[in-house]
Amino acid sequence: MGANNTTTTNTNNNNYPSSSSSSSTLNSDDSKKLHIFLDCDPGNDDCILLVILLQLFKNYPNRLNIIGISASYGNSSVQNTLKNLTSMINVLSMGKYDINIFSGAEEPMVSNEQSFFPTNIHGANGMSDLKELDKPNLAFCKGKITSKELLRLFNEVKSNELTQNDKIIFISTGPFTLISRFIIEKPNLKKLIDKFIVMGGVFEDERGNCNSKMTGEFNIFNDPDAANTLFMDPIMKQKSIIFPLNITHKAIFDQKQMKIFSESSRKDKEISELKKSFLKLIQKFSLLYTSSKDNEKHQFDKGPPMHDVLTAMPIIEYLIGNGNDFENKTNWEFKEIDFMVEVEGNEISKTHIFTKNSILKTLETENEKDNTKNINSTKNLIDYKQESCVVLYNMNFNLFWKHFQLTFDQLDQENYESKRIMQLSIYLIASLSVLVLGGILEKVL
């Protein structure tokens, strides 16, 4: 049933809140574990997302399971994104957890002559051509994911007495081709998915990054048919949580965040080689964004937007809880929207909204409207009962950056400690060898 972390101890460091020790109120049902399948296209920001999700997986073994991860086309070819995904599993030492790794979709549902790989943003290999993190191990890959295999994995969760009430979360951070094809081939998948969390789209007045009039967004631009298959479906639209450019363009990794990231929380004030590699990845990502045409349109001089990384926030919120004070609340602002995507012409991937007079909502205002929820208010996005696609416009970004930095501080500490243990082991073996050799020489002499 996905990765095996049932015997993993909590590796919590640097005061990262755990499900048992968090001072925040846990607003989700502790008995309901999250089972995640991630379809991604690594991708600089996808790589950062992978770090955060994999750290959560280690920190919350009783509340989070990773069913599988697939690498699809998008930021680069599937050959490159799969290499990048297995590189992340390798450099993060996650191979021991036996996470299901698959190759995903290779091309759009319908041939799209306008689709492209954004080498100007993600480099030729999709990961800024950074050698330090380019350590693929394709032996981790269990082959190409199929709709039959995905259905089997999901049924394993829902047919097991111990997990049948748990939640299945499908996250997509590239073009939506894979899951769109699969729900056509296996419609039962729609009922098994509890929430569908995606990065994609651009709404209303926000400027896009694709098509001639800048009204489109890359993930939807590459496969608008897949987007319509999902977001116009009466079942899937009630499960879809969308992070469009309207919110991701606010998640700028600026100089303040760069300074915090480059500093160490360790006593020796050093940062590990692994964290240095991710720092270099973000720096190269920033340079690519600054020199791209997107910078002229969106003024990314302050730093690159962490588009895909935001999709981890509903997971963090569910696991850790939504604080009672403003500083620790996620403070989502969203609209529930019915829409379709244009698939032809020079405005391909432009969203046409059907919902009339859609207003910004928060979980707090929705609870106040619905008296039936007041006894047990829905304080996290995953438990929210929606009628249409939830499109996010704003949130508490200070909280996002807090978790972002905390994750890499923890990773840094773990990497430092593992190196120290290795060095100590080498020293002990060497010392033992000297003692043994000394004893042998004494007997000979």
User: C-alpha dihedral over 80, 35, 142, 71, to 10 degrees?
Assistant: -10
Distance between CA atoms of 241 and 222, rounded to whole angstroms? 19
Tell me the C-alpha to C-alpha distance, in Å, between residue 31 and each of 22, 165, 167, 196. 16, 8, 10, 21
Q: Could you tell me which residues come within 8 angstroms of residue 441 by beta carbon, excluding any fewer than 6 positions away?
A: none
What would the two tokens of residue 86 be? 């297995």
E strands, 110-177, are 141-144, 167-172
Distance between CA atoms of 64 and 315, rounded to whole angstroms? 9
Backbone angles phi, psi at 220, to 5 degrees: -75, -35
Catalytic residue, chosen from 35, 307, 352, 403, is 307
Using an 8 Å Cβ cutoff, are 145 and 178 in contact? yes
Which position has the token pair 């050093």?
270
What would the two tokens of residue 184 be? 């056509």
Q: What is the DSSP letter of 235?
A: T
Q: Could you tell me which residues come within 8 angstroms of residue 87 by beta carbon, excluding any fewer than 6 positions away?
A: 127, 133, 134, 135, 136, 137
HSE (side-chain half, CA atoms, 13 Å) at 418 = 13
Distance between CA atoms of 59 and 68, rounded to whole angstroms? 18
Residue 307 catalytic? Answer: yes
Q: Give me the active site residues, please.
A: 307
